[in-house]
Amino acid sequence: MDISLNTLYQRTFVYYKIHFCHLKFFEHTSYNTYFKMKNMINIEYY
């Protein structure tokens, strides 16, 4: 139990770290345009 929980925690931590880095990257480059593109893509799918 402990070993599996530990590995799960490590995986989620790495995932959140990568996700945070991506957010920082978008924040620095073009945050607004990224969300505009995302909204356009979402509208296309609906």
Calculate the average pLDDT of the chain.
Answer: 67
Angstrom CA distances, 35 to 10, 21, 24, 26, 30, stand at: 29, 17, 14, 9, 9
Give the pLDDT of residue 36: 72
What confidence tier does 41 reach under pLDDT thresholds 50, 70, 90? Answer: low
Domain boundaries, the chain: 2-45
Q: What is the pLDDT of residue 5?
A: 74
Say if residue 7's pLDDT is above 70: yes
Query: Rounded distance, CA 15 to CA 9, Å?
Result: 10
Answering whether pTM is above 0.75, one says no
3-state helix, strand, coil in the chain (%, to 5): 90, 0, 10
Res 1 pLDDT > 60: no
